[in-house]
Amino acid sequence: MTAQDRIKDTVATNDVVLYMKGTKSMPQCGFSSRVAGVLNFMGVDYTDVNVLADDEIRQGIKDYSDWPTIPQLYVKGEFVGGCDIITEMTLSGELDTLFAENGVNFDKDAADKIREANS
């Protein structure tokens, strides 16, 4: 199975996937830590894929999305964005809407607290 096939399978079979450096419990870079922190704080059930553990996936995910950086968030098989986009979407409430529209459970109060702390 190629890296592209593995990526397609992962994003197709999991509602929320974060390709990141490290893991959700031990991020290995600030950008991955920020996105994982948002998802963790909001109580989102997501699959984390550590790109540092597999060079084929590390390059493959960049090719798959045509996006040059990691982390990368996928919701219901669709690429959402990287750290800056997820941060903006969190602060604007767009991430709440995306999750709600796709049936992804999250803690709305936690999302509101993030916005409150950053206003």
Whether the per-residue pLDDT at 110 is higher than 90: the answer is yes
Whether the per-residue pLDDT at 104 is higher than 90: the answer is yes
CATH of the domain at 84: 3.40.30.10
Binding site feature residues for [2Fe-2S] cluster = 29
For 5-57, the pLDDT digits (tens) are: 999 999 999 999 999 999 999 999 999 999 999 999 999 999 999 999 999 99
How does DSSP classify residue 19? E
Binding site feature residues = 29
Q: What is the pLDDT of residue 119?
A: 86
Place 93 in a pLDDT band, splitting at 50, 70 and 90: very high
Please, what is the average pLDDT of the chain? 97
How many domains, the chain? Answer: 1
Here the contacts of 103-106 (C-beta below 8 Å, separation 24 or greater) are 103/15, 104/15, 104/16, 104/44, 104/45, 104/75, 104/76, 105/43, 105/44, 105/45, 106/42, 106/43, 106/44
Owning domain of residue 39:
3-117
**What is the pTM for the complete model shown?**
0.96
Q: What percent of the chain has pLDDT over 90?
A: 98
Q: What is the pLDDT of residue 57?
A: 96
